[in-house]
Amino acid sequence: MSHLAAPPPPLTGAARRAAWLLLIALTLAAPHLAYAERVDQKTVRAWIKRGESLFRAGRLEMALVMFRKAEPHGEVVRDRAGVRWNIARCLEELKQHPEAVEAFEAYLEFEQNPAGRKDGQAKIDELFPKAFGQMEIECNERLRIHLEHEGKETIHRCPGRWVRLREGHYRFWAEIDGRLYPPQDAAIRVGEVSRFQIPPPGLLTIETTSKGGEAYRINDDEMGALPSDQRALPPGAYRIEVAQPGEAPWRREVVLEPGEALRVLYEAPRPAPPAAARWQPWVYGASSGVALIVGGALLWSASSNAAVADDNYANYLKARRPSDVALLRAAVEGAQDKAHQQRLYGWVGLGVGGVLGALTLWQIGAGAPVALTPHDDGAAITWGMRW
């Protein structure tokens, strides 16, 4: 006795919906599948013959439609290369030369006959000058060229040469280390070679009189710290700015010529001398005044003592008693010694006062460089007093 198999479990809701969707998709695709099966050798040949008739009748656009319809099925008639040849001939007669060149190149992908390949290449060589223009850009090998056409941008190395450009308006610009040259326009015409030249970049180096480390910018772009490496930049005007803590930024405008190696020196502000080392003019003046007063007082006192010595000497000459003579002689010698010392110290005081006075005049009149004043044209040295 045989056992019957158990019935399959019922479909769930999700499985039932998936089955219905699959059935609907197969129903909708059935006509297309049947049509694909009906595209046989006879149908494809009919399309090709229809296209050839339309081509001979001068109805080139309709002939192109028929050939393009047959082209995906060219392997059915084992003549896909022939179908592509017909497409290329229609495009040639329609004066659509760029598309015709591309169609003849597609023909060569399938054509194996040497004679046919020779004919296809001859057509390409004939149509190429009618289909495309050329452009050559002479430039430094460090540059990269950006070429833009109809919203599409491509990047190329220098020097640049393009032999397959469709007629139209192009825009290009050069780039060096992330900095862009001004864009240029190019009108490409078929059969013509448009030539352009881009000037070489310049080289800019910024040096400093300090130990370095100051942040600097070029045209408002942060570049790092000084001293700078040699930078390749597009020719043109540049504004250099160096930050100075506690002071206004140092600025310099330069013009970089094509191929020029330009070196710019940043003169850092000179540090102020310590306060203890500064001799102010008023110190010199006061010291000079004191020395002159003291020297003058000593000379006046010396002259007074000399007068006393003279009086004592006159009395000494008149004296008769030995005791008076000894006393007067001692007084004369003491007054003379004191006058001599005061005269010596007085002249020393006057000399010191004169020297200090000369230093005061030098400080006030000559002065010394005290600051580098920021200026648009660079750092201008200002001379004045050390107050």
CA nearest neighbour of 294 among 253, 352, 339, 367: 352
> For residue 5, is it within any domain?
no
> For residue 384, is it within any domain?
no
CA nearest neighbour of 253 among 267, 268, 239: 239
User: How many domains in the chain?
Assistant: 4
Range of the domain at 103: 38-131
Contact 363, 284 (CB under 8 A): yes
Q: Identify the domain boundary among 235, 266, 297.
A: 266
CATH number of the domain encompassing residue 68? 1.25.40.10
Average pLDDT over residues 285-300: 65
| Cis before 369? omega within 30 | no
User: For residue range 332-365, what is the model confidence (pLDDT) as tens digits?
Assistant: 666 667 666 666 666 676 676 667 667 666 666 5
Q: Identify the domain boundary among 266, 297, 312.
A: 266
Same domain, 108 and 140: no
Cα distance between residue 207 and residue 267, in whole Å = 9
Same domain, 261 and 281: no
How many Cβ atoms from other residues are within 10 Å of residue 285's Cβ? 17
Q: Using pLDDT thresholds of 50, 70 and 90, give the confidence band for residue 270.
A: confident
Same domain, 284 and 351: yes
Q: At what angle do helices 281-318 and 322-365 cross, to 10 degrees?
A: 160
How many Cβ atoms from other residues are within 10 Å of residue 327's Cβ? 15
CA-to-CA dists, residue 79 to 74, 84, 103, 134, 148, angstroms: 6, 9, 15, 35, 39
The token pair that represents 323 in the structure block: 């005791």
Query: What amino acid occupies position 184?
Result: Q
Same domain, 71 and 43: yes
Contact 135, 165 (CB under 8 A): yes
Cα distance between residue 281 and residue 283, in whole Å = 5
User: For residue range 45-95, what is the model confidence (pLDDT) as tens digits?
Assistant: 899 999 999 999 999 999 999 999 998 887 766 788 999 999 999 999 999
